[in-house]
Amino acid sequence: MNNLADVIEQWILRQISRQKDEIIVLRRNEMAEELDCAPSQISYVLNTRFTIDRGFIVESRRGSGGFVRIARIPVQTIIYQDAANQIDETISLADIKAIVTRLRNHNLVSGREAALIDKCFDILYNRLEPGERVPLLKSLLMTLADHSE
């Protein structure tokens, strides 16, 4: 028998899967009534099972007129964001190339694209000061994320 948290999670996932854009807006009290549980139990599930690490963004407003908005984040966006977060002024060129390799291993870029990105990162790394190159490297990664399929 499933525990209540599993039941709540599965119910929410079914609601998300029914939406074309994988975004749902729910009312916590209505959910609790339908699932015969306390609103705090729904909050627990949202806080523990619908996290960014698991590919979700949750926005919640409490009080009258309050709501819960849950959106599924494409996995590739999470990988690109994680890669961008690793880039700071102390990152080495080898670490930058490892990021490109990881993107290639996750099939987020082709071999040809990886070679081009590697070359761009190499040029930026060697020609710009850390303070100038970090925003450009991050911007390039997020541009890739925006254009990934």
User: Domain-by-domain residue ranges, the chain?
Assistant: 4-72, 75-146
Phi, psi of 9 (to 5 degrees): -60, -50
In this predicted structure, the answer to whether residue 1 has a pLDDT above a threshold of 80 is no
Percent of the chain topping pLDDT 70: 97
Nearest to 69 by CA among 79, 61, 77: 61
Query: In this structure, are residues 103 and 114 in contact, taking their beta carbons and an 8 Å threshold?
Result: yes
- Taking only the tens place, the pLDDT of each residue in 30-46 is 899 999 999 889 989 99
Mean pLDDT of 99-115: 89
Determine the length of the chain: 149
Mean pLDDT of 68-72: 90
Cα distances (Å, whole numbers) of residue 20 to 3, 17, 74 = 28, 8, 13
Please state which CATH number belongs to domain 75-146. Answer: 1.10.1200
Please state which CATH number belongs to domain 4-72. Answer: 3.30.56.130
Query: In this structure, are residues 50 and 58 in contact, taking their beta carbons and an 8 Å threshold?
Result: yes
